[in-house]
Amino acid sequence: MANSKLIIVEGPQGAGKTTVTDYIRFFLPHTNLYRLCGTSDKTTTGKEKAAKMYDGLLNYIESLQNDSINLLFDRTFFTEEIYCRLGFKDYSFSDVYERLLERFAKFDFDFYYITLYLNDENEYAKRLIRDDKGITDYAKYTVESSINQQKAYLQMADEIEKKYPHIHVIKFNNLVPLEEMQEKIKQLLS
């Protein structure tokens, strides 16, 4: 396995992805951070757009396998699959998701899949106070939406862990003080 890390951070709105990925980018040398949000097209043509975009992303990642660079993603195609599973989109993405995940799992990286969650779901009410100007219906920041996403992401993490034992699947309760989160993340990625 290569020394370079491929780190995917996923989780519901309000779970702390930005805080965690910013920290990882800061402490892990030679790390490029990418923030993706997928396509906003929730019609069936959105599936084609998303598939094309993520195939291109995987081609890019594949080209960097031997470059001693760590790649860190705040959301990828896992989010597309979650949003489809929860009915936010008019199509199923599962066939594309399975194909992309199979390809991802073969890359020569030390692969970490991190799912953030909050064991106190009431905390989402505090964390989701945001300016929702311009947010589309399927991405509105609501406590109920984040809780439903959290359940789906945790289930997805279990599925990945079962099917791909070489992927470091980490379910991280991000309801800890900042310093404790930083120390735990360091330990998990060491």
132 Cα distance to chain centroid: 21
| Per-residue pLDDT at 135 exceeds 70 | no
| Per-residue pLDDT at 56 exceeds 90 | yes
> Cα separations (Å) of 21 from 45, 88, 142, 148, 181?
31, 25, 22, 22, 11
- Which fold, 5-183? Rossmann fold (3.40.50)
What mean pLDDT do residues 107-136 have?
A: 81
> Cα separations (Å) of 55 from 50, 64, 83, 100, 134?
8, 15, 18, 7, 28
In this predicted structure, what is the pLDDT of residue 137?
47
| Per-residue pLDDT at 133 exceeds 60 | no
| Per-residue pLDDT at 140 exceeds 70 | no
The domain limits of the chain are 5-183
List, in order, residues 6 or more apart from 67 with CB less than 8 Å away. Answer: 4
Q: What pLDDT, in 10s, does the model give residues 29-41?
A: 899 999 987 778 8
Q: What pLDDT, in 10s, does the model give residues 58-100?
A: 999 999 998 889 999 999 999 999 999 999 999 999 999 999 9
